[in-house]
Amino acid sequence: MKIRVRDAHPADVKWMSENTEGWTVTVEKQEGAASLAEALHALIAEDPDQGVCMGWLHSSLQRAVGDEPGYVRLYELYVPPEFRRMGVARALVDELFVRVPDQEIVLSAWDRELYEVWLKLGFSYVPGFGEVSGECGYYGDMVRPPVEATS
Ligand SMILES: CC(C)(COP(=O)(O)OP(=O)(O)OC[C@H]1O[C@@H](n2cnc3c(N)ncnc32)[C@H](O)[C@@H]1OP(=O)(O)O)[C@@H](O)C(=O)NCCC(=O)NCCS
């Protein structure tokens, strides 16, 4: 099975809203919704041969505030049950990582039960304030740091 990742289009919004754990996805900005208008990258994974959508993610830019640097928030990642454990989430996250080489990516409201999955997908656990590294109290953040310049 092939997996192709592309930008989400307005025509995808209905499918995205029907395939989520409760998010509403809209084209234009809307209170309480994830919108394409506000997305930094909204991505769809599809099977190019069948033309079938297999998963999606939504990310947005958190601008710098005062001394706090900006970062990219991974807001939602969803793969319907029938397409799980096939590398769909990995394809989506890998594409986001490539598109965002120079900024931190932070998982928004990450599911603690999927702790190991986030590590497998390339995120690192940053302990919360006062949390001893290695205890994994899960109060911290899941982040993908900016990619270091190699030269
Ligand atoms: C979490 C989720 C996105 C994973 O999607 P997926 O396409 O099945 O993930 P992948 O196939 O790319 O798997 C990536 C890695 O995680 C592992 N993995 C995936 N789901 C797992 C699970 N439930 N338990 C343990 N490991 C899991 C895979 O084996 C793979 O590891 P590997 O590289 O060592 O083989 C999907 O299960 C999902 O949409 N769940 C419901 C929504 C959700 O919880 N979203 C995240 C909160 S925003």
pLDDT band at 10 (very low <50, low <70, confident <90, very high): very high
Distance of CA 64 to the CA centre of its chain: 19
pLDDT band at 109 (very low <50, low <70, confident <90, very high): confident
Q: Which segment of 19-28, 38-47, 105-114, 134-143 scores lowest on mean pLDDT?
A: 134-143
Residue 88 Cα to ligand 1 midpoint, Å, equals 8
- Measured from the Cα of 76, ligand 1's closest atom is 48
Residue 89 Cα to ligand 1 midpoint, Å, equals 6
- 75 pocket-lining for ligand 1 (C-beta < 6 Å): no
- 76 pocket-lining for ligand 1 (C-beta < 6 Å): yes
Q: What is the mean pLDDT of the chain?
A: 92
The pLDDT score that the predictor gives to residue 137 is 66
pLDDT band at 151 (very low <50, low <70, confident <90, very high): very low
- Ordered by where they begin, the domains of the chain are 4-144 (3.40.630.30)
**Tokens coding 22:** 């409760």
Q: What pLDDT, in 10s, does the model give residues 24-82?
A: 999 999 999 999 999 999 999 999 999 899 999 999 999 999 988 899 999 899 999 99
Residue 84 Cα to ligand 1 midpoint, Å, equals 7
- 84 pocket-lining for ligand 1 (C-beta < 6 Å): yes
Residue 86 Cα to ligand 1 midpoint, Å, equals 9
Per cent of the chain over pLDDT 90 is: 74
Is residue 47 within 8 Å of 86, Cβ to Cβ?
Answer: no
The pLDDT score that the predictor gives to residue 129 is 82
- 80 pocket-lining for ligand 1 (C-beta < 6 Å): no
